[in-house]
Amino acid sequence: MNEEYGESSTNEEEEEDEYTNPNENIFNGNQGYLICDAAVKDKLDYETISEKYEIKPENLKIIQAIGEGYYSDVHMGILSLLTAKITVAVKTTKTKTGAMNAEESEGIRKRQRQALREELRIFEHLQSSSAGGHDNVLKLLGAITIIRADFCLMTEYCECGSMDSFLQAKWRNGHFVDELVIEANEYEQVWKIQHDSKWREDFQSRREKGLITTSDLLWFALQIARGMEFLATMKILHRDSAVRNVLLKTDLTLKVADFGLSRKLRENDDGYYVGKEGTAIPILYIAPESLKSRRFAITSELWSFGVVVWELFTFAEKKPYSELDHYENNEPFYEILVQHLSSGRRLSIPNNVPRQM
């Protein structure tokens, strides 16, 4: 394994409590995640981690850094399997913890490892299905969990990174082609292909120029819907759906990713999970009923999907509800948002959306 990870000859068993909720508090202070104070009860039901994914450190070579999240660093690496070498994304605890001393730093890393362990459990559950996962959900390919210094998760590598930067770049570089045409009567909206017989033929040349169209945005929305539908059938609540947490392959296949806040519904949960007190949640994406009660269900996932579609059609240029950003009377943003939604107001319909949607 790469020197960056340091040499470790000890097979230290993690002493960390596997059943604590690692993400509680770690998102504190992260913009857009907010702690609610409603009374809560916590229900979790995870399978134990199997050894199916454990790999030896010498089979992983780290190549370069590709990203950074709130609780992990992400690198691109090469995983050597019996018959092949594959490119993987490697999620590790953060190199820079911002801690004042070694003891504090180890405390932070311990929480980060716990967060990654939780994510691992979700991956394992999702991949326990007969299909072994879903094409639109990121797959776990390996993990090192028994050697603390090398602790990491390895997932499919998505060459184009996360969807928010991809969309922003397309918009800023003028690489979006609106396929909708407003007719002279100003009411009827038709597709370009209905006016231009060459539109279909030019598909390949648009691809080569790196252009994306309204149909592509719909295709992205459909893929995310399929991924989230799969999560729902596996009784997983993602709870952090946002375009920044969707990853993209070069063939424009999308992968729902980042299960750091995800929870599995138990059989006896009555269809909802009640968030633990102190957990920070991404309020801009959360359904009003979950904001108020901390109850999360498949229906609240559908709300988040709606916000994701809004982000797709606005090219992730702005955060949802950015017009509410100016705080009035020092009221907390959470309160402003709850009032806004309770009064029936919603995100505005973006310009490029087909009317049927």
Ligand X SMILES: Nc1ncnc2c1ncn2[C@@H]1O[C@H](COP(=O)(O)OP(=O)(O)OP(=O)(O)O)[C@@H](O)[C@H]1O
In the complex, what is the shortest distance from the CB of residue 188 to ligand X, in angstroms, rounded to a whole number?
40
Sole residue written with tokens 């719909």: 218
Distant-in-sequence, close-in-space partners of 47: CB < 8 Å, separation ≥ 6: 121, 124, 125, 128
Rank residues 71 and 305 by Cβ distance to ligand X and give the closer one. 71
Rank residues 177 and 252 by Cβ distance to ligand X and give the closer one. 252
Residue 79, strand partner residues: 60, 86
Greatest CA separation found in the chain?
Answer: 74
Q: How far apart are CA 252 and CA 161, in angstroms?
A: 11
In the complex, what is the shortest distance from the CB of residue 242 to ligand X, in angstroms, rounded to a whole number?
8
User: Reduced to 3 states, what is the DSSP secondary structure of residue 175?
Assistant: coil
Q: How far apart are CA 136 and CA 229, in angstroms?
A: 10
Distant-in-sequence, close-in-space partners of 210: CB < 8 Å, separation ≥ 6: 170, 175
> Length of the chain in residues, anyone?
357
Rank residues 257 and 291 by Cβ distance to ligand X and give the closer one. 257
Q: By the 8 A CB rule, do 280 and 141 touch?
A: no
Rank residues 99 and 182 by Cβ distance to ligand X and give the closer one. 99
Encoding tokens for residue 112? 């980060």
- What does each C-alpha distance from 357 to 149, 187, 266 come to in angstroms? 49, 15, 33
Sole residue written with tokens 């960056």: 4
Q: Is 91 labelled a binding residue? A: yes
In the complex, what is the shortest distance from the CB of residue 173 to ligand X, in angstroms, rounded to a whole number?
18
In the complex, what is the shortest distance from the CB of residue 164 to ligand X, in angstroms, rounded to a whole number?
8
Q: By the 8 A CB rule, do 311 and 320 touch?
A: yes
In the complex, what is the shortest distance from the CB of residue 131 to ligand X, in angstroms, rounded to a whole number?
20
In the complex, what is the shortest distance from the CB of residue 143 to ligand X, in angstroms, rounded to a whole number?
14
Q: How far apart are CA 330 and CA 244, in angstroms?
A: 29
Rank residues 87 and 128 by Cβ distance to ligand X and give the closer one. 87
37-46: buried (b, 16+ CB within 10 Å) or exposed (e) per residue? eeebeebeeb
Rank residues 77 and 179 by Cβ distance to ligand X and give the closer one. 77
In the complex, what is the shortest distance from the CB of residue 354 to ligand X, in angstroms, rounded to a whole number?
29
Q: What residue number has its CB nearest to ligand X?
A: 69
Rank residues 112 and 213 by Cβ distance to ligand X and give the closer one. 112
Binding residues vs ligand X (CB under 6 A): 66-72, 74, 89, 138, 155-158, 161-162, 247, 257-258, 260
Binding residues for ATP: 91
Binding residues: 91
